[in-house]
Amino acid sequence: MIPGSFTWKLINTALNIIQCYIKLEGWIIQINLENYFLRTLVLVVGMSLAMIAVALGIIYLFETGLPMPAPLIFLLFAVLFILGTTIFEGRGAVHPWSLIGGAISSIAVTFIVMSIIGGILYAVTGGLSAIPPETILYSLSACMIVSMVTLKFAHYKLQYI
């Protein structure tokens, strides 16, 4: 895109309207959303797409098996177990409970990551063609509502910590 072209001016005007700027520094892309409405919308849509990817990943798990090699899954679990245990110890959990908390949280996060990867593979390999578009839109709408409720609940709970 040429910086003086009509398309460039249109994109620049749109970014000025939504008060969003993107700064590229090497490999790091920083997106600053100053508009509260837009920031909430981007977060809710991202959460809902992740929920749909998890659901599609569970379908992928039952239809084809694991989306990634088992040693890689175990390595992910081990790294998350170490992180989870140190986080729980840092928050004041005693010895056996920090290990149990780290194990439970790492199982959950490993399953979520594995499901999201499976959902992406399911969508890329043509699995979405078996699902009617209305069902995808209904599930996206429902996930957006659940994401907004979850976001507001988390915001309410985290303000007292």
Confidence (pLDDT) at 73: 95
Q: Could you give the C-alpha distances from 143 to 27, 60, 73, 98, in angstroms and in order?
A: 31, 19, 27, 32
Q: What is the pLDDT of residues 27-78, one digit of tens each?
A: 665 666 677 777 788 889 999 999 999 999 999 999 999 999 999 999 999 9
Bigger pLDDT: 119 or 92? 119
Q: Report how far residue 153's alpha carbon sits from residue 158's, in angstroms, rounded to the nearest whole number.
A: 9
Residue 33 contacts residue 24 (beta carbons within 8 Å): no
pTM of this structure: 0.73
Q: Report how far residue 136's alpha carbon sits from residue 49's, in angstroms, rounded to the nearest whole number.
A: 11
Domain residue ranges in the chain: 1-34, 35-158
Q: Report how far residue 139's alpha carbon sits from residue 155's, in angstroms, rounded to the nearest whole number.
A: 24
Kindly report the three-state secondary structure assignment for every residue of 38-55.
HHHHHHHHHHHHHHHHHH
